[in-house]
Structure 1
Amino acid sequence: MYLFDIDGVIRDVAGSYRRALQETVHHYSGWRPIPQEIDALKSEGIWNNDWDASMELLRRSGADVPKRKALISIFSGFYFGGDPDGDPGAWTGFIRDEPLLVDPAFFAQLTAKGHRWGFVSGAEPPSARYVLEQRLGLKDPALIAMGDAPDKPDPTGLIRLADQLAGDDEPELVCYLGDTVADVRTVLGAQRQRPDRAWLSLAVAPPHVLSDPNARPDYEATLRNAGADHILSSTTASLDLC
């Protein structure tokens, strides 16, 4: 069984979610964190939610921290550029700049090999459904998104989706592919809570790191030290591991 994170694994969010985080922090403080500063925060393993990450960066910078609801509104304005629950065709925000890291054929291959698959993501449901259903053309994909379960690294969502897909046919192995320390820790948490099931943590550096030969070794070492079982060069490299 394959379960996937979405951001940094299925789509490149350097120019969308990450950029919205940068612009939100800049909106409130005049300071725009660089990607390495965001990566350093994410490497702590507890800032999977970009709204919370924005607030924490503001807090650490010494800036006034707004109410969470107000920050979410500003962030969503940058990211969606329209009503998150409205027509995606009317969105004008950074979500329009999200290169795909896989294509529909990848999931067809998983299915052809007899693998069950789904997604466990901290992305907002409209954003997750947009990339999976409209851009990739997947029909009713199994999905746990923001609000469906506690934020990662809490493993509740991962365990729940694995249970849902397993039904009465327990898989030999459940692999989860993510791009952050929080994703790795989510698998470790699942191993502790459900030791009766075999779990494997697959990790891949996000595109902005993969393309940087200076940053990639340290980032991958951080994932490995956090407990990742395999470090991959791409999402598609996971095809024959589980």
Structure 2
Amino acid sequence: MKGVIFDVDGVIVDVKESYHFAIKRTAEEFLGFEVPIEKVRLIKFSKGINNDWIATKEVIRHFGREVELDHIVSVFNEIYKSLRDREKLILDEDFFANLKAQGIPLGVLTGRPKEDLNYTFEKFGLFKYFDFLLDDDDIPVDDLKKPHPYALHLCIEHMNLSACVYVGDSLADWEMVVCYRKMYDKPVEYIHFGDSVKLDNVKSANTPQELRLVLQEVLKHL
């Protein structure tokens, strides 16, 4: 059985006004001055940082300060909660309903904490489209989190897939698939969605319409 596994932030959900600004505002709390949102995004995506707490730490470090991650997490979480209702769907219910109607198993593999994932999926009514969801809290060992392919392996095995496509938007997503191919033996293809970072010689799509077409083509030849 072939399936599709999706990242959430930047793929299913637009987080430019939520998580990105939570990084910015948290960093500003510790730095004491304004940080351009463009700089936040450049640091996060150019370094391929999957976890936004760690991305915040890296932004703060970029400007010459070191702050313990525990302190960052507590501030970040409160700021994010004040911003999360700014989020909008990139891939809507019709997108997933169309795939489900074709009998394609769908999964989620995300670096979001469980509380954040549940809030957003409940808000947008997305739970019913997915056969399996794996979030950051499901992988308690930091060394096994994305871009390590262990989480992707868990998804594939739990969904009983013979092959799959992973749809992501970051260097970490691409690296995870590359590492999976080296460590495990089931065929996995990667589709890069959006323009947050450019990858050469990688299947890509910039709109839901393009993604639908690329997915169908990749699944056909997988």
TM band (smaller chain): 0.7 to 0.9
Structure 1: distance between partners of 2:193 and 2:37: 17
Gaps (5+ residues) in structure 1? 81-92, 210-218
The structure 1 residue matched to 2:30, chosen from 28, 31, 39, is: 28
CA–CA separation in structure 1 for the residues paired with 2:87 and 2:159: 28
Determine what percentage of the aligned residue pairs are the same residue.
25
Distance 1:57 1:101 in 2: 26
Letter in 1 for 2:157: D
Q: Partner residue of 1:48?
A: 50
Query: Which residue among 145, 149, 169 is the counterpart of 1:151?
Result: 145
Distance 1:233 1:151, change over 3 A: same
What letter corresponds to residue 164 of structure 2 in structure 1?
A: V
**Structure 2: tracts of 5 or more residues without a match:** none
Deviation at 1:189, TM superposition (A): 1.0
CA deviation after TM superposition for structure 1 residue 56, in Å? 1.4
How far did residue 137 of structure 1 move? 3.8
Count of aligned pairs: 208
1:177 equivalent in alignment to 2:167: yes
Secondary structure of the 1:143 match is strand
Q: Please tell me whether residue 123 in structure 1 is matched to residue 112 in structure 2.
A: yes
8 Å CA contact 1:180, 1:205 repeated in 2: no
| Alpha-carbon shift at residue 106 of structure 1 (Å) | 1.5
Counterpart residue number, 1:76: 77
Aligned Cα RMSD in Å? 1.9
Instruction: Report the equivalent of 2:189.
Output: 200
Q: Please give the alpha-carbon distance, in whole angstroms, between the structure 2 residues aligned to 1:236 and 1:164.
A: 29
Distance 1:113 1:13 in 2: 29
SS of equivalent to 1:139: helix
TM-score, normalised via structure 2 length: 0.86
Name the structure where helix makes up a greater proportion of residues: 2
Q: What's the CA shift string for 1:80-137, capped at 9, x where partnerless?
A: 1xxxxxxxxxxxx100100111222211111111211110000111111222233134
Offset, 1:44: 4.4
